Chain A
Amino acid sequence: MNAIADGGLAVTLPRERWQEFGRFAREELGCRYFNWLSAVDWKDQGLEVLCRVENLDAALVLTMRTRLAAGETACPTLTALYRGADWMERECYDMFGVVFEGHPDLRRILLSEDWEGYPLRKDYAVDTPFAPYR
């Protein structure tokens, strides 16, 4: 456990304990407020998924993070715990290609269905052409 720059708690978890800890955060720590979920692409060190939940009454801020192995894209979903995870995970899938296992409706949300590639990955160049405008 270590603090990140904004004073909250950060917990780094193995992927298998992602849902289990999410339930602990929600039920035991009272972190009912789902703030955001996103990812960081660490190139050859794999993707890292981050999720920020809060207990507004106790002013407790918790950032959960898990590192996926290089080339790995599967991550368990939090949609069963937080309804807000639905759109956030879809956005993360859209931008990073993280496949949230168990998500009820995992499709692209901001880009069109036929988009190729995942724009926020580091290997995706800014000027990547998109059909039919290639």
Chain B
Amino acid sequence: MPETQTKQVVEVGYGGNERLMMNMGPQHPSSHGVFRMILTLAGETVVGVDAVIGYLHRCHEKLGETLTYVQYPSIASKTDYVAAMTSELAYVCAVEKIGKFEVPRRAQYLRVVAAELQRIASHCLWLGTWCLDMGGALGGGATVFLYCIREREMVLDRFEELTGARLLYGFHQIGGTRYDAPPGWDKKVRETVDFIEARIDEYEAMLEDNTFFRVRTQGVGVISRELAQEVGVSGPLIRGSGVSYDVRRAEPYSSYQDFDFVVPVETAGDCYARYRVRMVEFRQSIRIVRQALDGLPEGPISSRPGVKSVGQVRVPKGEGYTRVEGARGEVGCYIVSDGGPKPYRMKWRGASFSNLAVLPHIVPGHKVADVVAIMGSVDPVFGEVDR
């Protein structure tokens, strides 16, 4: 700080040169989980951030080494519990790649439908809670939240019809999916996405015409292109910083090469840019869901027997890293196999962990109220940060 060179920094006093250490969290409502920040303040401006994570740590990587390939996928959904479909998918894709398991085309398409619906549900939750955090300036605060939760409920109803669960699904299994779409499900999904598509216009009208919303998000929490890459952020964050990087495009998995979609890119790098990227992603996800339902092939849903006769999966010796594009970015799984029924080593690359690591670099210089807006725009899920 330049002013510290002329004025001695003190902890208490009235000279305008004092620093205040403020604790934010772990139970702060805006953290949507358990996350603590130790902020150093000069007046109301943040000059230092010490992020404390790990409150939700369950050591998933050790769990992965103690559970078999068949057992773990249903636990994998507990890493990113807001987008459980994609975290399961990351694990089973990794095992399928090393073990060279075939996945029938119908299963690949069902996986795409599930993953994109999950992205819609996750973005709904993000938008609602983020606007709730920024509070009263956005027309009563809870308005957008309630609308978004209403739409998310519709997607969760579709998941309930598909898998019987609303939050943690256990939908993916090695070699395919565990459940097939029930009769009439595709029609309901179409109705759902039609409904949500119309609502997105409403959200945009409600937010983008609101001066308070623009003031609180534009130019706030800017991540430069260079910083985004160096820290390894992914998903809407890196696309908001001018890097066109999407795993679905860079390294297509599960038949994503069959679908026509746009990867949105914004260059400003601020909260508003990240908001814009996610709003476009809503629409692109809806597009992909429609295409996948139109082209849903007939046939088996798994190359391995169903859930009641799981048996053991044996994976040859080897290693591999597989990544998928989750709602928050690149979700990856690195597996080392020694030929046994369990992985020798399993590493999660959680998108939220890397995305959150950018906070200490972008928060200093902002006011305390902006910390909430910035954290919401990063959209961390602490199950995935702490794993």
Contact = CB atoms under 8 A, between A and B. Distances in A.
A33, A108, A111, A120: most-surrounded residue (chain B CB, <10 A): A33
A95 B61 contact: yes
A56 interface: yes
Contacts of B336: 40
Q: Is chain B's binding surface mostly helix, strand, loop or mixed? A: mixed
Interface string B361-382: 1000000000000000000000
B243 A36 contact: no
Interface stretch (A15-23, A69-77, A81-89): A81-89
A1 interface: no
A36 B332 contact: yes
A126 B276 CA distance: 44
Contacts of B361: 83
Contacts, number: 88
Interface stretch (B81-89, B266-274, B284-292, B314-322): B314-322
A6, A91, A109: most-surrounded residue (chain B CB, <10 A): A6
B230 A111 contact: no
Contacts of A41: 345
B205 to A, nearest CB: 34
A83 B227 contact: yes
Given A32-B226, A87-B353, A5 B61 contact: no
Contacts of B97: 5-6
A34 B332 contact: no
A59 interface: yes
A5 B230 contact: no
Given A36-B332, A52-B321, A112 B54 contact: yes
Interface string A43-82: 0000000101000100100010000000000000000001
A33 B57 contact: no
B172 interface: no
B1 interface: no
A125 to B, nearest CB: 10
Interface string B118-140: 00000000000000000000000
A12 interface: no
A19 to B, nearest CB: 16
A83 to B, nearest CB: 5
A13 interface: no
A131 interface: no
Interface of A: 4-6, 8, 32-36, 38, 40-41, 50, 52, 56, 59, 63, 82-84, 86-87, 91, 95, 108-112, 119-120, 124, 126
28 contacts: A6-B322, A8-B321, A33-B229, A33-B232, A33-B245, A35-B232, A35-B332, A35-B349, A36-B332, A36-B334, A36-B347, A36-B354, A50-B334, A56-B243, A59-B250, A82-B230, A84-B230, A84-B231, A84-B232, A84-B354, A84-B357, A87-B357, A110-B53, A110-B57, A110-B386, A112-B54, A120-B59, A124-B62
Given A6-B321, A119-B62, 19 more contacts: A4-B319, A5-B319, A5-B320, A5-B321, A8-B321, A32-B226, A38-B347, A40-B344, A52-B321, A59-B250, A83-B230, A84-B232, A84-B354, A91-B353, A120-B59, A120-B61, A120-B62, A124-B62, A126-B66
- Which 10 pairs across A and B sit closest by C-beta, in order of nearness? A5-B320, A110-B54, A84-B231, A84-B232, A34-B232, A32-B229, A87-B357, A110-B57, A33-B229, A36-B349
